[in-house]
Chain A
Amino acid sequence: MDSEDDLLQKCITSAMPKQR
């Protein structure tokens, strides 16, 4: 299981646009 920080970081990244 990911640490809280990893989980949060993945969550933030998942919401970002992938490419222009």
Chain B
Amino acid sequence: PTPPYLKWAESLHSLLDDQDGIHLFRTFLKQEECGDLLDFWFACSGFRKLEANEGNEEKKVKLAKAIYKKYILDNNGIVSRQIKPATKSFIKDCVMKLHIDPAMFDQAQTEIQTMMEDNTYPLFLKSDIYLEYT
């Protein structure tokens, strides 16, 4: 069978589908001071997965606000700097008007994912941390 670390090199999704892969990638990103990229990506997935039952409504609002505050509000944050202004104002609008939708972070997540695929993921595959692991 293919060892997991070889699978990680196939695509970002293969890497993010494996606990050890995530752990190693996070260690690398933290070293590069951009660990928030990965946390934000997972936060968006988790938010989308929240079930749409009534008791969850309050939780969703709170969570949407928490994601917005932590990753998007501060324009100097690593995540915020990688998201297009139009996407940020869309999310801000949703939060302010309490238009909470499971897909409200999808565009931002895609932008961060593209950035990881083009930038941090290829760097990770060439990094000492990955090469030493293999």
Contact = CB atoms under 8 A, between A and B. Distances in A.
Interface in B42-62: 42-47, 49-50, 59, 62
Max chain B CB contacts within 10 Å: which of A7, A8, A20? A8
Interface string B68-99: 01100000000000000000000000000000
Interface residues of B, number: 24
B73 to A, nearest CB: 13
Contacts of B43: 8, 11-12, 15
Which of A5, A18, A20 is the most central at the interface, judged by chain B CB atoms within 10 Å of its CB? A20
Q: Give the interface SS of chain B, mostly helix, strand, loop or mixed.
A: helix
A16 B46 CA distance: 8
A7 B17 contact: no
